[in-house]
Homo-oligomer: A and B are copies of this chain.
Amino acid sequence: MAAPDSYIAEHLSSFLDDFAELIAIPSISTDPGHTEDVRKAAGWVRQRMEQAGLSASVEETGGHPVVLGRHDAGPGAPTLLVYAHYDVQPADPLGEWRSPPFELTREGENFVARGAADDKAQVILQIGAAEAALRTTGLPVSLTLLFEGEEEVGSTHLPAYVAAHRKELRADHAVIADSMMFSPTRPSLIFGTRGMAYVEIAVRTATHDLHSGQYGGAVSNPAHVLARIIASFHHPDGRVAIEGFYDDVLETPADLRAGWAALGYDEAAFQRSAGGAALRGEPGYSTPERLWIRPCLDVNGIVGGYTGPGKKTVLPASAKAKVSCRLVPDQDPADVARLLRRHLDDHGFKDVKADLLGAEKPARTPLDAPFARVCADAAKAVWNVTPVVTPMMAGSGPMHVLGAKFGIPTVMPAGIGYAGCNVHAPNENVRVDDYIAGIKYFATIFADFAH
């Protein structure tokens, strides 16, 4: 089974040319000025898929398109759905880049460019891995590569697209190729993503702003009300104080938690990556546990009254906050939104509005899914180290939309990117070695999958 590896080694410089070509298309999904670039990138990906021997199509979604690449291994072969995304974040602030963001630039052992780690490397290496198998041993698995163009703008049209194409996207197993290694030297295998209930809380006390001299001290102030509401969401020790919030949280087996305790999670590195923020959270859990297996509630934004420079003597007529809860199995976003509403009612805030702006269900594949074994073995073969098993990752993602919703076991096998590779920031980078290892990793997964 060395043949795909030989193909990869022989075609390495061509795979790097591909990477540079895709990087050079600034497919910034959030910027209307780059809509055509996003579409150009989709066309490039389709063309490259066809060149690899896949059947490929650019699929309309109502927003930026999805690109599908497919291989049919015949009846009886298992089907694997692979997700990645070809859109990128803006490159601002441009002045902080050491090289042009849309030129793949080698810098020591890294490639530097916008999208190098998130997520264009994955796009190239999935296609490369499929090509290596198809041109050598053959690809024994039916493959659907689904590459999204809206990941960086919240996957707006993905759920509807997936729902409308349920049959074509049917799969036995799924892989999300958009996550991070546990550390620079240790790949990870992630089995879940946190869900989310995103609520906007709006307090209005008057029809118009008031002069703080003429009314101050005699009328209700919405910023005071909002502050009391936000303060009421947590107990002093850090636990969320909304009644019933933790009721549906599944406990994590003690042996798994004990295993993590031995991993040597680098809290100092995490804190550096967090811009020096103090580490705080639910008592009784370590930082990785707070991120992986526990839910939380955070204010994402707050505004009311005068927010410019200097002083203005105004009493705001309204104030609002955006509040998001990250959820873990088996919490349900709609249930959590109802608990939050009841919390407001019970604390004297019946008049305060709370609108659910976004809901994503948490997702988790059983840790003993046989398919996960294939990914773990492949990682060990490529990196000579067992990947860290993470039942959840901190963020959200399309795991529920693509897989869990339909009962498809889904994992995130991460061999590229780690804290410090500047995802979403200037000088985003990926290690050259990881890029090459990543192609081999997926070629191995594809090959071993059918066994």
Contacts and interface: CB of A to CB of B under 8 A. Distances in A.
A211 interface: yes
Interface stretch (A43-51, A77-85, A170-178, A276-284): A276-284
Interface stretch (A61-69, A161-169, A307-315): A307-315
A294 B217 contact: yes
A208 B424 CA distance: 12
Interface string A183-198: 0000000000010101
A91 to B, nearest CB: 16
B227 A231 contact: yes
A382 B413 CA distance: 88
Nearest to A236: B228
A318 B281 CA distance: 18
Contact of A224 (B230, B290, B317): B230
Interface string A210-254: 111111111111011011111101100000000000000000000
A281 B213 contact: no
B303 A316 contact: no
Interface residues of A, number: 78
A272 to B, nearest CB: 10
B324 A275 contact: no
Contact of A291 (B206, B208, B217): B217
Given A212-B326, A217-B296, 14 more contacts: A194-B213, A210-B277, A215-B277, A217-B290, A218-B280, A218-B281, A221-B280, A224-B233, A226-B302, A227-B299, A298-B315, A300-B316, A301-B312, A301-B316
